[in-house]
Amino acid sequence: MNLEILTPDKKIFEGEVRSVTVPGTMGSFEILNNHAPIISTLDDGKLIVRTAGKEEVFLVKGGVVEVLNNQVMVLAEAASAK
Domain ranges of the chain: 2-81
Residue 49 pLDDT exceeds 90: yes
- pLDDT tens digit string along 29-44? 999 999 999 999 999 9
Q: Give the homologous superfamily in CATH for domain 2-81.
A: F0F1 ATP synthase delta/epsilon subunit, N-terminal (2.60.15.10)
Q: Which amino acid is at 57?
A: V
DSSP 8-49: SS-EEEEEE-SEEEEEETTEEEEEETTPPPEEEEE-SEEEEE
Kindly indicate the confidence band of residue 77, based on its pLDDT and cuts at 50, 70 and 90: very high
CA distance 12 to 39: 20
Three-state secondary structure call for residue 69: coil
- pTM listed for this prediction: 0.93
For Cα atoms 7, 13, 17, give the angle at the middle one, nearest 5 degrees: 135
Kindly indicate the confidence band of residue 53, based on its pLDDT and cuts at 50, 70 and 90: confident
